[in-house]
């Protein structure tokens, strides 16, 4: 069967709730793309920071299996390094005759030599030239003893001065070069926007009305039922004025609009060149952003939906399943096998942790049985977390503090932690068992074998142990 062209549109730190659910966010081109696509309504990132989730996208593996458990620039190699012994999506596509290009933020592994993954042309954050923009306004936070951090800003130049315009233009240049050939192509377009600092052209910022953006209702929330670190992080932002908070949210939404305008240009190009129908387009984000919710910005250890729920819009070849809204729980690892199945490409690499979600679309699998799991290894300060979603519920294991349990159907904004509610103990244990199921299936042996007396802090254990070595340190029994 004929192999199909593939385009990945990767945004950075784009919150699903903002771009999919909020009509204030000006995204006409993405919403047009949705009409020809499947919207995965319960898609989650496997990790709330960049490198681990991006590495899962190209490997189909959870972070504990691909090794990039933290960001490439934040910790030394011994703490986080992408495995060189695993198969990757671009390498497998190359072996199947695809021509490959990558433009924009990479942030997956440390070499930045994309040629070894099969890319014949690429521009990444290592090579894209920096630009000096004319500031109109910006918002900074100050913390005693720390360097000031710029949260957002507006610049005078038009969108043509943006990195987003540059990487989409490069992608269209590559497609123009290869479109007449016999080989299919796969192009990754990876924008920095809307990652902080949220820098946006004035012409786009002015599309938004300050009166439409009130201070988030939970901006000043004080929670006694969530991990203490969440409250400590809220202190970072407490001195922002209401105007600054609104400006930051508007800049964030403006960055999303900036990306959307580039999507519109790309789709127009594909249609003009009769490439649109036969091309698979996957729009996703590596993770989300708090964007003011719970009194927070950016992302990290607070495991709220704003950080983990991702927009995942998939246009299949010939617009198959168009207009479908699928409720199955899926994660970043599931994208790779879905693309390979839909594009008639054989995966000959190692076993992966993800599975195609095409069977849900065909009605072969029931979304009610689906669940997904995320892993967080805590950035520089090593906050260990595991998260599981199933049946409208969400359980968060916090190794550093009390656990969390949310009924997302009744409490979508996660205001009430039910982890200690006697009426929800059975549900918490059931979710914990699903977590252990995933741990065992994906051979997360270090987590699975954490059965020492000082590690027994989950609601229930895995039910088995298979040590990672061929001998035991404890060789005495009585």
Q: pLDDT digits over 43-83, tens only?
A: 999 999 999 999 999 999 999 999 999 999 999 999 999 99
My answer on whether 356 and 432 are in the same domain is no
pLDDT digits (tens, 9 = 90+) for 190-247: 999 999 999 999 999 999 999 999 999 999 999 999 999 999 999 999 999 999 999 9
Q: What is the pLDDT of residue 463?
A: 86
| pTM score | 0.96
My answer on whether 240 and 327 are in the same domain is yes
Q: Is 321 left (phi over 0), alpha (psi -120 to 50) or beta?
A: left
pLDDT of 142 higher than 80: yes
pLDDT digits (tens, 9 = 90+) for 397-415: 999 999 999 999 999 999 9
My answer on whether 166 and 46 are in the same domain is yes
Helices (H), 314-473: 335-342, 358-362, 425-441, 445-448
pLDDT of 468 higher than 60: no
- The predicted model gives 415-430 an average pLDDT of 98
> Strand runs (DSSP E) across 223-354, as ranges?
279-285, 312-315, 324-331
Classify residue 209 by burial, with Cβ atoms within 10 Å: 0-12, 13-18, 19+.
exposed
Q: What are phi and psi of 325, to 5 degrees?
A: -115, 110
131 pLDDT band, cuts 50/70/90, is confident
Domain extent, residue 27, equals 5-369
pLDDT of 343 higher than 80: yes
Asked if residues 375 and 64 have their Cβ atoms less than 8 Å apart, the reply is: yes
My answer on whether 296 and 409 are in the same domain is no
Taking alpha carbons only, the member of 392, 391, 388 closest to residue 403 is 388
My answer on whether 331 and 446 are in the same domain is no
Segment (H or E) for 190:
strand 185-190
Q: What is the pLDDT of residue 474?
A: 60
Segment (H or E) for 264:
helix 242-272
Q: What is the pLDDT of residue 470?
A: 58
473 pLDDT band, cuts 50/70/90, is low
Can you state the angle between helices 50-59 and 335-342, rounded to 10 degrees? Answer: 30
My answer on whether 135 and 56 are in the same domain is yes
- The predicted model gives 249-259 an average pLDDT of 98
Strands 121-123, 5-11: pairing kind: unpaired
- The predicted model gives 424-447 an average pLDDT of 97
My answer on whether 358 and 397 are in the same domain is no
My answer on whether 349 and 390 are in the same domain is no
pLDDT of 298 higher than 80: yes
Distance CA 313, CA 310 (A): 10
| DSSP-derived secondary structure letter, 17 | I
User: Per the domain annotation, does 212 fall within a domain?
Assistant: yes
My answer on whether 28 and 159 are in the same domain is yes
User: Per the domain annotation, does 403 fall within a domain?
Assistant: yes
Q: How many domains are contained in the chain? A: 2
Residue 322: CB atoms within 10 Å: 13
**What is the token pair recorded at 317?**
């070849």
pLDDT digits (tens, 9 = 90+) for 346-375: 999 999 999 999 999 999 999 999 999 999
My answer on whether 230 and 135 are in the same domain is yes
Among 309, 338, 369, identify where a domain stops: 369
User: Per the domain annotation, does 353 fall within a domain?
Assistant: yes
- Using CA atoms, how far residue 225 sits from 130, 221, 307, in Å, is 44, 12, 19
Strands 404-407, 393-398: pairing kind: antiparallel
Distance CA 198, CA 204 (A): 12
User: Per the domain annotation, does 246 fall within a domain?
Assistant: yes
Q: What is the pLDDT of residue 444?
A: 96
My answer on whether 353 and 395 are in the same domain is no
459 pLDDT band, cuts 50/70/90, is very high
466 pLDDT band, cuts 50/70/90, is low
User: Per the domain annotation, does 474 fall within a domain?
Assistant: no
Q: What is the pLDDT of residue 477?
A: 65
CATH number at residue 90: 3.40.720.10
Beta-carbon contacts of residue 83 (< 8 Å; ≥ 6 apart): 65, 66, 67
My answer on whether 389 and 293 are in the same domain is no
User: Per the domain annotation, does 475 fall within a domain?
Assistant: no
- From first CA to last CA, the distance across the chain in angstroms is 63
User: Per the domain annotation, does 476 fall within a domain?
Assistant: no
472 pLDDT band, cuts 50/70/90, is low
Point out which residues pair with 123 in neighbouring strands. Answer: 103
Asked if residues 276 and 270 have their Cβ atoms less than 8 Å apart, the reply is: yes
- The predicted model gives 450-462 an average pLDDT of 94
User: Per the domain annotation, does 478 fall within a domain?
Assistant: no
pLDDT of 454 higher than 60: yes
Averaged pLDDT score across all residues of the chain: 96
Q: Is 442 left (phi over 0), alpha (psi -120 to 50) or beta?
A: alpha
CATH number at residue 436: 3.30.1120.10
């Amino acid at each position: 069967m004929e192999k199909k062209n593939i385009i990945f549109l990767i945004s950075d730190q784009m919150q699903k709730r903002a771009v999919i659910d909020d009509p204030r966010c000006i995204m006409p081109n993405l919403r047009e793309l949705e009409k020809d696509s499947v919207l995965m309504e319960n898609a989650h990132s496997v990790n709330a920071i960049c490198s681990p989730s991006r590495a899962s996208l190209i490997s189909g593996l959870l972070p504990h299996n691909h090794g990039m458990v933290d960001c490439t620039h934040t910790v030394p190699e011994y703490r986080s390094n992408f495995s060189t012994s695993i198969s990757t999506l671009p390498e497998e596509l190359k072996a199947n005759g695809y021509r490959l290009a990558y433009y924009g933020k990479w942030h997956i592994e440390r070499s930045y030599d994309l040629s070894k993954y099969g890319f014949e042309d690429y521009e990444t954050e290592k090579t894209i030239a920096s630009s000096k923009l004319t500031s109109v306004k910006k918002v900074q936070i100050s913390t005693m003893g720390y360097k000031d951090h710029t949260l957002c800003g507006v610049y005078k130049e038009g969108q043509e001065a943006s990195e987003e315009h540059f990487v989409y233009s490069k992608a269209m240049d590559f497609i123009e070069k290869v479109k007449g050939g016999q080989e299919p192509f796969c192009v990754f377009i990876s924008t920095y926007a809307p990652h902080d600092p949220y820098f946006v052209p004035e012409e786009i910022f002015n599309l938004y009305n300050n009166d439409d953006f009130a201070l988030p209702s939970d901006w000043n929330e004080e929670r006694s039922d969530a991990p203490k670190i969440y409250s400590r992080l809220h202190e970072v932002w407490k001195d922002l004025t209401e105007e600054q908070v609104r400006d930051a949210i508007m800049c964030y939404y403006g960055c999303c609009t900036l990306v959307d305008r580039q999507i519109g240009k790309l789709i127009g190009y594909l249609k003009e060149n009769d490439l649109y129908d036969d091309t698979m387009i996957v729009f996703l984000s590596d993770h989300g952003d708090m964007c003011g919710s719970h009194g927070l910005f950016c992302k990290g250890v607070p495991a709220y939906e704003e950080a983990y729920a991702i927009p995942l819009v998939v246009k299949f070849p010939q617009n198959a399943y168009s207009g479908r809204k699928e409720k199955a729980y899926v994660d970043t690892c599931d994208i790779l096998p879905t693309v390979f199945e839909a594009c008639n490409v054989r995966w000959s690499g190692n076993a992966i942790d993800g599975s195609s979600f095409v069977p849900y679309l065909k009605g072969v699998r029931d979304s009610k049985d689906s669940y997904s799991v995320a892993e967080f290894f805590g950035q520089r300060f090593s906050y260990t977390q595991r998260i599981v979603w199933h049946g409208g519920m969400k359980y968060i294991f916090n190794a550093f503090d009390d656990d969390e349990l949310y009924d997302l159907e009744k409490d979508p904004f996660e205001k009430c932690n039910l982890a200690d509610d006697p009426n929800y103990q059975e549900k918490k244990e059931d979710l914990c068992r699903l977590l252990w199921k995933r741990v065992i299936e994906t051979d997360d042996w270090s987590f699975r074998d954490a059965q020492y007396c000082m590690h027994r802090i989950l609601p229930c254990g895995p039910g088995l142990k298979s040590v990672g070595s061929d001998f035991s340190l404890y060789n005495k029994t009585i």
